[in-house]
């Protein structure tokens, strides 16, 4: 699956810990090896969520700035 056809989750309106809760639930929905693109605010979310995902064994494919926010693309661990 390419990043272009990834499921998309927008958590720019959420605050911690609901940011990670929404990510957790969206990752439940994509199968192992599936790709999820997460739109998140600058600051705490982009500082912590990509690191958490990496620590849990998921693969970070891209972290890109999108105006005030960031797009984080992750491949769920197999």
Partner 1 sequence: MTLTDAEILRYSRQIILPQVGGAGQERIRKGRVLVVGAGGLGSPALLYLAAAGVGTVGVCDHDVVDSTNLQRQVIHATPDLGRAKVDSAADAVRHLNPGVAVVRHPVRLTASNAPGILTGYDAVVDGTDTFASKFLVNDACVAADVPYVFSGILGFEGQLLTVVPGRGPCYRCFFREPPPPGSVPTCAQAGILGPVAGALGSLQALEVLKLLLGVGELLVGRLVLFDGLSLSFREVGLERDPRCPACGDPEHRRPLADEAAGGCTR
**Catalytic residue positions?**
16
CB of 30 closer than 8 Å to CB of 76: yes
Helices and strands, number each (H, E), in the chain: 2, 4
54 binds partner 1 (CB under 8 A): no
Binding to partner 1, residues 1-30 (CB under 8 A): 17-18, 20-22, 24-25, 27-29
Binding to partner 1, residues 56-75 (CB under 8 A): 56
Compute the distance between CA of residue 4 and CA of residue 71 in angstroms, rounded to an integer.
12
Least distance in angstroms from the C-beta of 62 to partner 1:
22
32 binds partner 1 (CB under 8 A): no
């Amino acid at each position: 699956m390419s990043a272009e056809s990834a499921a998309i989750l927008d958590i720019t309106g959420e605050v911690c810990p609901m940011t990670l809760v929404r990510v957790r639930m969206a990752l439940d929905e994509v199968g192992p090896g599936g790709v999820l693109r997460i739109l998140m605010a600058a600051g705490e979310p982009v500082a912590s969520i990509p690191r958490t995902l990496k620590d849990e064994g998921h693969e970070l494919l891209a972290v890109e700035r999108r105006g005030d926010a960031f797009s984080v693309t992750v491949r769920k661990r197999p």
